[in-house]
Amino acid sequence: MSDQKLKIIPLGGLGEFGMNCMAIRYGDDIIVVDAGMMFPDDELLGVDIVTPDFTYLEENAAHVRGLILTHGHEDHIGGVPFLLNQISVPVYGTPFTLALVERRLEEHEMLDEVKLHKVKPGDRLELGPFSIEFIHVTHSIVSCVALAITTPLGVIIHTGDFKVDPTPTDNLLFDLHTLAEYGKRGVLLLLSDSTNVDRPGYTESERAVGPRLEDLFVRSPRRLIISCFSSSIHRLQQIVDFAQQYGRKVAFFGRSMSNTTEIAHDLGLLTIPDGVLLRPQDAMQLPPNKVAAVVSGTQGEPMSALSRVAVDNHKHLSIERGDTVALSARIIPGNEKAIYRMINHISRRGADVVYGTMNPPIHVSGHGSAEELRLVLNLVRPKYFVPVHGEYRQLSRHAKLAQHLSHSGLEDTFILECGDTLEIDRDGARRGESVTVGRVCIDSGTLDEVVEDIVIRDRRSLSEDGFVLPIIAINKHTGRWEGLPEIVSRGFMSEDSTGVLKEARQIVLKTLESSTPEERGDWGVMQEKIRTDLKRFLNKQTSRRPLIMPVILEV
Amino acid sequence: MSDQKLKIIPLGGLGEFGMNCMAIRYGDDIIVVDAGMMFPDDELLGVDIVTPDFTYLEENAAHVRGLILTHGHEDHIGGVPFLLNQISVPVYGTPFTLALVERRLEEHEMLDEVKLHKVKPGDRLELGPFSIEFIHVTHSIVSCVALAITTPLGVIIHTGDFKVDPTPTDNLLFDLHTLAEYGKRGVLLLLSDSTNVDRPGYTESERAVGPRLEDLFVRSPRRLIISCFSSSIHRLQQIVDFAQQYGRKVAFFGRSMSNTTEIAHDLGLLTIPDGVLLRPQDAMQLPPNKVAAVVSGTQGEPMSALSRVAVDNHKHLSIERGDTVALSARIIPGNEKAIYRMINHISRRGADVVYGTMNPPIHVSGHGSAEELRLVLNLVRPKYFVPVHGEYRQLSRHAKLAQHLSHSGLEDTFILECGDTLEIDRDGARRGESVTVGRVCIDSGTLDEVVEDIVIRDRRSLSEDGFVLPIIAINKHTGRWEGLPEIVSRGFMSEDSTGVLKEARQIVLKTLESSTPEERGDWGVMQEKIRTDLKRFLNKQTSRRPLIMPVILEV
């Protein structure tokens, strides 16, 4: 049976940040690990969500045995509805991960069509030639698993996202033993999280945030407002516990915060003692020093609860002089300005804002630093290694970090980006043929509205220099233009442009008049001539390159 | 004489990051401290440079006695040509600062019209009722001064930008003594740099970078490429010194890098031993381990030398496998994605990239941390305090940092944002009337091309949902429209929009037909009616809000 090839096919998240998705193929059988989304770069104007291009899976839909989710972060599950809209496939994950997926499927009215299968650490799942064992790992969200995927050619370990938290707040330790056993028996390939490879040493335990949170509860003279990622259930549990200890009631603000706390509470992953929970609408009724408000929106997203509170535009929560606002989250690169703007607003309201680097920390990362990555490399001792979950700079550094294992059985390391593939057979491992990958830009969170590249290109051009539209009216009887061409323009220049546009009309007229009768017979040609002449003129006069679009109107 | 009022009038840099500019007025006499620029937020589409609105100075042009520059960073001198284009005023600064200003004036062909006056630490300058002493301070650029401005009502200390570097590489210590003397005699008002108020402790000395740089020179097996801010003359001196010590030649890349090193060298502020300098075009000719390339472009600016090198698009410098590339600069918030993209490219070329947080550091800040700010507060012991140079979050934290001085003579602290003013007279200090301030957006670095707000608003709208132009041809004889209205659209929707746009033509026609003869007589009214109906229709059909601009064409 092992005369077939094993293929590793990253469809997202390798060589880029976000939207993790990987296909693993043996012979004709395929399993998919995670289907994430990412938030778009600023350059992708008007785009709300980006998912991987799932063409490869669609073309091989008949062979896809299952979608396996490692944990419930957006960059691992956010693309699930979009993938399931294209192919029908059973989905496997821990109860908490699947509960989050359910919410998204509900939003897209797809819940009835999809089969969700709960798994737990220690379970084994057989899918075609693959036998998958789920291994508990620690991370910033609860219920995370790594995967040990046994194939006819050997075992693949996929870590998912992890840190090696020595003292997790829920006391569920990273299952190093199972990883060690696989390592001892021999692992063909390791796929391991590269996010924090740049950081030396160890990432601090989630518990390290405790002293800072406690300090906030002890010292805040008035209302305490804490913002964190709604999926940080460990963090929320610590907040709830300190609230009980120090006699404050907790109210949750923001849709994602209400959703995830409700789910986590239902599944017994978040314990809220009786009498601690406060309804959002009651938050301003209690004495300020009896309230802790937990608010989503750490990244300064304009419509988030915290952004609205910051500009005093929230129905149930206001910041008053002397309140304390703590941002218990990292700044995702690209969000700095929005976040600082929000902090400025909060400061103007007279609140004390606690954010950034401090000791004890107000936030710790969920991803392992260099020494944790080395620990996993050393436990697993794979024959082949492919760093995953990171931009190229991180993947290449992770590859270097594994070099010492060449003395302990590591035969080769491959830096793959999306679309690259790795082929393994009895003779060894090598790069295989590329597959179709890409980004699908989604305009407003519905399944249908995919913004095509041309539209994005136009929007970018429009955003820089606006547009100039020469409009030429053609008499449909004579075929000749009537009068002087009109020019319509927006976003191009300020009012001083009148002179330039007046001259531009003459330029268009000259182009019309200097054309041969043959040219004039073909309005496609004329449009191109007008565009070219006008482009040259405007660029020379103004150094700008507006979108130019000649319009021919038969009248 | 002291029955006049002293006014502090921040025109830029307070409550925002960049473009520092402050007017100080006594009676009718005004001096201006710094005239900076800032780079625009991403939202200011198509804008290259932002300067303060100098209207206040223009309106009081006859009273402005001088422009005093504290140092040569862009956020302090970048607006000088634009200010001098509006008012004529002598300029004072250290030779290095003025040399940088000269280059900018040359670019704008203004050098002949401007009077530049060199000053040095210890000098005193009399301007109307103001007597200004220049005080040497340490910062990331050379030749920086703080100002002690004696007025009839008392002394104002303006720190400019500073850190209190205990071991500056040029051995020119921060002049704490002069500051202490002023403090002892009594200071009316302190204006002090708030940039790093968030950081506890002390900022490391510029010398702290030495061990890291030396390590790079010792360990890099091949070509060593270092990128830093071109104005970081201290940093460049360290690089040149290590290059000599370890037998490498130094080549400078990038226009700003050539400019500033030439100026600093001419002024004796950068010592380049014989035989160390290498022409850029020879950088690839020497053995790789004999070359250190110093390249501008730490922020991933698309046209910078380093960005071009990263994609192998530079005439004289290529990155080869095994080269070392070090980014010796901070990441300015907002530039993260561009910088990481550049680092990914460099990593793909097989270079080892050294960046980020490490010990010893590859970069240290030029701004003092909390304890340095406290030191200056305690030395100066002002009666009034106004934190400057920072967003609101930083100003408010700096104000809190000064609270302990209320036991040592501090009577009041004012958080001013641009446009707010402070009035001081014999009776005390209080907030005064606001003045006109704002941002002037400049499109391409020339003096004339100011982008007006309406244009920016249009461009933003265009960038999100494109435009839809209904075009209605009107028979100028009958006053009636001819045929079905045309609709032209770009950046709005993908090809599937044909149906929507077809329907939209009918909507426009319906609006036309349902109008009263009076309405039809006023095409302004008709344009508005068409816009409103079409907006409602498109928003309902597509949830989008393109720019809609009905065009009426008489034919």
In a domain, B360, yes or no: no
Distance of alpha carbon A481 from alpha carbon A473, whole angstroms: 5
The alpha-carbon gap from B140 to the nearest alpha carbon of chain A, in Å, equals: 22
- With CA atoms as reference, the chain B residue closest to A390 would be B344
In a domain, B1, yes or no: no
Distance of alpha carbon B536 from alpha carbon B318, whole angstroms: 55
Q: What is the pLDDT of residues A474-511, one digit of tens each?
A: 776 776 787 788 888 877 775 556 778 888 888 998 98
Residues of chain B neighbouring A340 (CB-CB closer than 8 A) = 333, 391, 393
Are A454 and B494 a contacting pair at CB < 8 A?
yes
DSSP string for residues in A53-65:
--HHHHHTGGGEE
DSSP 8-state assignment for residue A447? S
Which CATH number does the domain housing residue A76 bear? Answer: 3.60.15.10
Residue segments in chain B with a per-residue pLDDT below the cut of 50: 445-446
Work out the angle at residue B379's Cα, subtended by the Cα atoms of residues B374 and B382, and round it to the nearest 5 degrees: 90
Contact between residue B493 and residue B544 where contact means Cβ atoms under 8 Å apart: yes
Q: Which of B367, B398, B420, B533 is catalytic?
A: B367
Residue of A357, A473, A491 lying closest to B462 (CB–CB): A491
Say if residue B20 is in the same domain as residue B148: yes
Say if residue A173 is in the same domain as residue A141: yes
The alpha-carbon gap from B474 to the nearest alpha carbon of chain A, in Å, equals: 9
Are B473 and A334 a contacting pair at CB < 8 A?
no
Q: Which of A367, A398, A465, A533 is catalytic?
A: A367
Residue of B465, B473, B483 lying closest to A46 (CB–CB): B465
Residue of B336, B344, B492 lying closest to A333 (CB–CB): B336
The arithmetic mean of pLDDT across residues A508-517, rounded, is 85
Are B344 and A391 a contacting pair at CB < 8 A?
yes
Q: What is the pLDDT of residues B84-132, one digit of tens each?
A: 999 999 999 999 999 999 999 998 889 888 999 999 999 999 999 999 9
Are A469 and B465 a contacting pair at CB < 8 A?
no
**Domain count along chain A:** 3
pLDDT at residue A445 in the model: 46
Say if residue B176 is in the same domain as residue B46: yes
Residues of chain B neighbouring A334 (CB-CB closer than 8 A) = 336-337
Encoded amino acid at B52, one letter: P
pLDDT at residue A214 in the model: 98
Say if residue A291 is in the same domain as residue A197: no
Distance of alpha carbon A382 from alpha carbon B62, whole angstroms: 77
Which of residues B451 and A65 earns the better pLDDT score?
Answer: A65
In a domain, B288, yes or no: yes
pLDDT at residue B478 in the model: 72
Residues of chain A neighbouring B451 (CB-CB closer than 8 A) = 494
Q: Which domain holds residue A471?
A: 453-554
State the Rg of chain A over Cα: 29
Which CATH number does the domain housing residue A210 bear? Answer: 3.40.50.10710
Q: In what order do the strands lie in the sheet with A29-33?
A: A116-118, A91-93, A64-68, A29-33, A21-26, A6-12, A422-425, A428-431
Which of residues A66 and B544 earns the better pLDDT score?
Answer: A66
The alpha-carbon gap from A111 to the nearest alpha carbon of chain B, in Å, equals: 24
Are A336 and B334 a contacting pair at CB < 8 A?
yes
In a domain, B401, yes or no: yes
Say if residue B501 is in the same domain as residue B400: no
In a domain, A360, yes or no: no
Compute, in degrees rounded to 10, the torsion defined by CA atoms B292, B296, B300, B303.
-120
Distance of alpha carbon B489 from alpha carbon A549, whole angstroms: 10
Distance of alpha carbon A261 from alpha carbon A272, whole angstroms: 10
> Is pLDDT at A280 greater than 80 in this prediction?
yes
Mutate to test the interface with A, among B194, B344, B417, B480 (most CBs of A within 10 A): B344
Are A393 and B347 a contacting pair at CB < 8 A?
yes
For this structure, is A193 an active site residue? yes
Look up the pTM and report it: 0.81
In a domain, B149, yes or no: yes
The alpha-carbon gap from A273 to the nearest alpha carbon of chain B, in Å, equals: 36
Last residue of a domain, one of A299, A327, A354: A354
Which of residues B344 and A447 earns the better pLDDT score?
Answer: B344
| Two tokens, residue A129 | 């030639």
Nearest by Cα to A227 from A321, A308, A120? A308
Are B45 and A463 a contacting pair at CB < 8 A?
yes
Residues of chain B neighbouring A492 (CB-CB closer than 8 A) = 455
DSSP string for residues in B198-231:
TS-S-PPPGGGGHHHHHHHHHH-SS-EEEE--TT
Say if residue A224 is in the same domain as residue A171: no
Distance of alpha carbon A278 from alpha carbon B97, whole angstroms: 59
Check the CA dihedral B452-B454-B458-B461 and report its sign: positive
In a domain, A542, yes or no: yes
Q: What is the pLDDT of residues A20-43, one digit of tens each?
A: 999 999 999 999 999 999 877 655
Residues of chain A neighbouring B365 (CB-CB closer than 8 A) = none
pLDDT at residue B542 in the model: 79
Q: What is the pLDDT of residues A309-320, one digit of tens each?
A: 998 889 999 999
The alpha-carbon gap from A79 to the nearest alpha carbon of chain B, in Å, equals: 21
Last residue of a domain, one of A354, A374, A396: A354
Cβ-Cβ pairs closer than 8 A, A with B, add up to: 171
For this structure, is B193 an active site residue? yes
Distance of CA B359 to the CA centre of its chain: 29
Are B459 and A464 a contacting pair at CB < 8 A?
yes
> Is pLDDT at A212 greater than 90 in this prediction?
yes
Say if residue A151 is in the same domain as residue A269: no
- Of chain B, the percentage scoring pLDDT greater than 70 comes to 93
**Does the model's ipTM exceed the 0.90 cut?**
no
Contact between residue A321 and residue A221 where contact means Cβ atoms under 8 Å apart: no
Residues of chain B neighbouring A488 (CB-CB closer than 8 A) = 469, 549, 551
Residues of chain B neighbouring A547 (CB-CB closer than 8 A) = 490-491
Residues of chain A neighbouring B547 (CB-CB closer than 8 A) = 490-491
Residues of chain A neighbouring B467 (CB-CB closer than 8 A) = 462, 467, 490
Say if residue B229 is in the same domain as residue B130: no
Say if residue B431 is in the same domain as residue B467: no
Are A549 and B490 a contacting pair at CB < 8 A?
yes
Say if residue A111 is in the same domain as residue A170: yes
Contact between residue A392 and residue A14 where contact means Cβ atoms under 8 Å apart: no
In a domain, B184, yes or no: yes
pLDDT at residue B381 in the model: 97
Say if residue A188 is in the same domain as residue A258: no
Looking at beta carbons, which pairs linking A216-219 to residues 24 or more positions away fall under 8 Å?
A216/A324, A216/A326, A216/A354, A217/A242, A217/A243, A217/A245, A217/A246, A217/A248, A217/A292, A218/A246, A219/A324
**What phi, psi does B436 have (nearest 5°)?**
-70, 125
Are B491 and A551 a contacting pair at CB < 8 A?
no
Which of residues A54 and B497 earns the better pLDDT score?
Answer: A54
Q: Which of A29, A53, A175, A193 is catalytic?
A: A193
Are B348 and A392 a contacting pair at CB < 8 A?
yes
Query: Across-strand partners of A9?
Result: A23
Last residue of a domain, one of A303, A335, A354: A354
- With CA atoms as reference, the chain A residue closest to B445 would be A543
Check the CA dihedral A269-A273-A274-A279 and report its sign: negative
The arithmetic mean of pLDDT across residues A237-265, rounded, is 97
Are A462 and B460 a contacting pair at CB < 8 A?
no
Say if residue A187 is in the same domain as residue A44: yes
Distance of alpha carbon A56 from alpha carbon A35, whole angstroms: 13
The alpha-carbon gap from A107 to the nearest alpha carbon of chain B, in Å, equals: 17
Residue of A444, A491, A492 lying closest to B543 (CB–CB): A444
